[in-house]
Amino acid sequence: MGRSSKDKRDIYYRLAKEEGWRARSAFKLLQLDEEFKLFKGVRRAVDLCAAPGSWSQVLSRKLRVKESSEEVKIVAVDLQAMAPLPGVTQIQGDITKISTAQEIIRHFEGQAADLVVCDGAPDVTGLHDVDEYIQAQLLLAALNITSHVLKPGGNFVAKIFRGKDVTLLYSQLKIFFSTVTCAKPRSSRNSSIEAFVVCQNYSPPEGYVPNMSNPLLDHSYDVDFNQLEGPNRVIVPFLACGDLSAFDSDRTYPLQLDSEKEYEYLPPTQPPIRPPYQQACHLRKNNLLAKEDSPSAVLDGALSTMNLGSEQETDPSTP
């Protein structure tokens, strides 16, 4: 399989490289904004779990287009390093620490954010119950720090896995936001349980004091919670963003979409800063990987043959 294999398999991956986005996930935030007008009037925005930075890219391009771009402040937070972006302040920190929330407010000169977004997700294991639980905890951690930095009336957008216990998360979000919607952008694969909660009009309970020490979802779980009906059950609207004119993320498209324009491979806009396979790339680039026809491989093969022969001679069971 050549370099074009992934381009042919994923149309949004290809479009991201053509338009200069760091990842295909940029289209998810763009399509959410088209539906909910998330960027209207936003001057201070926070991107949690930002690496590699595609959502920060979207915020930078969309919020800094006017003459008053100096007034726009964008803060990106992640444990991993991230390549610089124009107009984006980066914090390499933990979203579960109060010091991270304080640093965000410091960059905003004491003011609260208008918008907080989070596209963070765990490294999936394939065990769906485990993945859904970890994602739920990550969302709650993002909500917790959001309660420290978001202004009343602000908006919050985060990734969610729509599992069997998702109603618990909806009930938690409804405590802090007057409007909660579950949205599925067109660029998000239909085969994935991934969706995004769009929480509008931040209005915490009267007297609520944000606290990093206590988990938000601290009430006991009732196995019959999801079977409740009527006003006792929390159900949020589900909205599919985008119409049929957009590309289908689950469909395979030919490389040459335009008959008048020949396909050309483009490298990724921004490779990872410190990928786990960095050492392997270094060895391959410097031709340090062992090969079958290399002298060292031939020598190793000869030695193994010699050892095998000596073992056969000393083994009394050998005929």
CATH annotation of 7-209: 3.40.50.150
Q: What is the reported pLDDT for 19?
A: 92
Dump the DSSP string for 54-80: HHHHHHHHHHS-STTGGG-EEEEEESS
Confirm whether residue 94 is marked as ligand binding: yes
Q: What is the reported pLDDT for 286?
A: 86
| C-alpha–C-alpha distance, residues 144 and 230, integer Å | 29
| C-alpha–C-alpha distance, residues 138 and 162, integer Å | 14
102, 30 contact by CB (below 8 A): no
117, 196 contact by CB (below 8 A): no
Q: What is the reported pLDDT for 219?
A: 45
83, 128 contact by CB (below 8 A): no
CB atoms within 10 A of CB 212: 17
Catalytic residue among 17, 28, 159, 184: 159
β-pair type (113-118, 44-48): parallel
E strands within the chain?
44-48, 73-78, 88-92, 113-118, 150-161, 177-185, 194-202, 238-241
The angle subtended at Cα 32 by Cα 182 and Cα 249, nearest 5°, is: 90
CB atoms within 10 A of CB 288: 8
Confirm whether residue 78 is marked as ligand binding: yes
Confirm whether residue 119 is marked as ligand binding: yes
| C-alpha–C-alpha distance, residues 160 and 287, integer Å | 43
Residue 237 CB burial class (10 angstroms; 0-12, 13-18, ≥19): exposed
First-to-last CA distance in the chain? 48
| C-alpha–C-alpha distance, residues 267 and 87, integer Å | 24
Q: What is the reported pLDDT for 100?
A: 96
Q: Which two tokens stand for residue 127?
A: 């065990």
Q: What is the reported pLDDT for 272?
A: 74
CB atoms within 10 A of CB 23: 21
Run means of pLDDT, 10 residues per run, the chain, 319 residues? 65 91 95 95 96 95 77 94 92 94 95 96 84 90 94 96 83 92 92 93 89 58 48 62 73 77 79 77 82 53 49 42
Q: What is the reported pLDDT for 291?
A: 65
- Element spanning 171, H or E: helix 166-176
185, 28 contact by CB (below 8 A): yes
Q: What is the reported pLDDT for 101?
A: 95
Q: What is the SS3 assignment for 158?
A: strand
Q: What is the SS3 assignment for 223?
A: coil
pTM: 0.77
β-pair type (194-202, 150-161): antiparallel
β-pair type (113-118, 150-161): parallel
285 labelled catalytic: no
Confirm whether residue 114 is marked as ligand binding: no
Listed residue (305, 269, 274, 286) closest to 20, CA to CA:
269
